[in-house]
Structure 1
Amino acid sequence: MIGQLTGLVSHIEGDHCLIDVNGVGYVVSASSHTLGLLPRPPELARVLVETIVREDAIQLFGFAEADEQAWFRLLTTVQGVGNRVALAILSASRPSLLWQAVHAEDKTAFTQAAGVGPKLATRLLTELKGKVAKMPAPASMSGQNLTAVSGAASKGSTHSTEGLEQDALMALEGLGFRRAESWPIVNRIIGENAGEGLDVIIRLALKELAR
């Protein structure tokens, strides 16, 4: 089982690259994000590798970052999401955006990937919600937002907080803001302004989104 490769990047083409390790060339499929982070050939690179063994082939999938590899594994647990579709999703959206999209129940981060329609996007949101709740928040999210997420979850009634959050997100979506974009802001504002009504939450969120 190959878990990591360190070698010379021979070439990058389409959705894969060729890495030369001591004279042996490994074809590694990867997202556009990972391929974009690789050095120009023929420079040395290190990639984390997920090895998929099948009866007729051995496939290598490479990742520049551990959180992307974790999301690849997570996405492929969903029925109908194969390795290629998982890479397409990771090419279209970074793990931090996917994390936010699942919490905000926003399909957009998934449907913009090739091979993902509304039906599959709905299944992804449904099946990933419980699994993502057990994962740490992406490192790219600010500490302030993370504090707000945990704070909002612990204050007041879960039902009323979630209802307020969903109403605010729907209102902002009607004004043209994406749910994945609005969710971390709304979630933090609710946590910082316990007891405030919907109009106040929307007004404060609009003030930040307008920036």
Structure 2
Amino acid sequence: MIGRLQGIVLEKSAPDLLIDVNGVGYEVQAPLTTFAVLGRIGESAVLYTHLAIREDAHQLYGFSDKSQRSLFRTLIKVSGVGPKLALAILSGMDVNAFAMCVHNEDITALTRLPGVGKKTAERLVVEMRDRLKEWQTPAPLWQAADHAEQASADQVLLEAESALVSLGYKPTEAARMLNKIADQASTSEELIRLALKNSLGNT
């Protein structure tokens, strides 16, 4: 089992990463919340990984910290939630924000996540409630503020990505467009305008 990678970022195209570890290139899929804290191409990175083995493929998933990986592993145990949806959920909000939604039974917030309908959100609340107790302890005020700020930034990215998908872009293409400009705007409207401007400029 591959549990951790430390190497150089060779390629970044959400959700796909290519990490060079001592001359071996590992293809990894990661959530947008990991992309947000990952270094630039050519810089060193550390990822905590989960290896999913299927009959037709071995897929490696990477996360910026152990809590993300732990939540991912817990999510894929929920009925109807596979690695793709778990990755989308982690792209939409961080661990603490997700735990808070489950704890507060905030179905509305969960259904804003890509691929999560009302029935799936209700199932997540029921099946994840007891499994997330370790993340439900109150955080210090400064830490809560940081989490709220990150959750807000994640929501802006999610709204922009959803808008681009509704315009006909594929989810991976929309994520790739936004990843290039994530730090250049603070609202979903600005991100959408920049993404479309860059896309038209490249055609």
| TM-score bucket of the superposed structures, by smaller chain | 0.5 to 0.7
Partner AA of 2:140 in structure 1: S
Aligned-pair distance for 1:18?
Answer: 0.4
Count of matched residue positions in the alignment of Structure 1 and Structure 2: 144
Deviations along 1:99-145, one digit per CA (max 9) or x if unpaired, are 11111100133212211111110111111112223x24368x22799
- 1:149-168 paired onto structure 2 within 5 Å: none
Q: What corresponds to 2:72 in structure 1?
A: 72
Instruction: Indicate conservation of the 8 Å contact 1:32/1:91, yes or no.
Output: yes
Residue 188 of structure 2: aligned partner: none
TM-score by length of 1: 0.64
Distance 2:97 2:109 in 1: 7
State the shift of 1:52 in Å: 0.8
Write the distance in 2 (CA, Å) between the matches of 1:51 and 1:18: 15
1:2 matched to 2:7? The reply is no
Alignment map for 1:30-49 (pairs within 5 Å): 30-49=30-49
In 1, the alpha carbon distance for the partners of 2:75 and 2:95 equals 11
1:197 match: none
Deviations 1:64-90 (A, max 9, x none): 011111111111111010001001111
Tell me the secondary structure at the aligned position of residue 2 of structure 2: coil
* Aligned match of 2:185: none
Q: Distance in 1 between matches of 2:75 and 2:108?
A: 16
Judge conservation of contact 1:107–1:122 (CA < 8 Å) in 2.
yes
Say if 1:49 and 1:60, in contact at 8 Å, map to a contact too.
yes
- 2:49 aligned with 1:53, yes or no? no
CA RMSD for the aligned pairs? 2.1
Larger RCO: 1 or 2 (CA < 8 Å, sep 6+): 2
CA gap of 1:59–1:118, structure 2 versus 1, over 3 A, is same
The answer to whether the 8 A contact 1:67-1:138 is kept is no
| Superposed structure 1 runs of 4+ greater than 4 Å apart | 143-146
- Provide closer, same or farther for how the CA distance between residues 49 and 115 of structure 1 changes in structure 2, counting only shifts above 3 A: same
For residues 92-103 of structure 1, the aligned pairs below 5 Å read 92-103=92-103
Larger Rg: 1
Contact 1:67 1:95 in 2 (8 A): yes
* Unpaired stretches in structure 2, ≥5 consecutive residues: 145-203
Amino acid at match of 1:46: V
Q: Which amino acid aligns with 1:37?
A: V
Query: Any conservation in 1 of the 2:31–2:90 contact (CA below 8 Å)?
Result: yes
1:131 maps to 2:140: no
Q: TM-score, with normalisation over the residues of structure 2?
A: 0.66
Cα 1:126–1:101 shift into 2, 3 Å: same
**2:130 and 2:72 mapped to 1: Cα distance?**
16
- Cα pair 2:103 2:136 within 8 Å, conserved: no
Percent of aligned pairs sharing the same letter: 40
Which residue number corresponds to residue 115 of structure 2?
115
Tell me if structure 1 keeps the 8 A contact 2:111–2:117: yes
Distance 1:86 1:63 in 2: 12
For residue 96 of structure 2, give the secondary structure of its aligned residue in structure 1. Answer: helix
Amino acid at match of 1:58: H
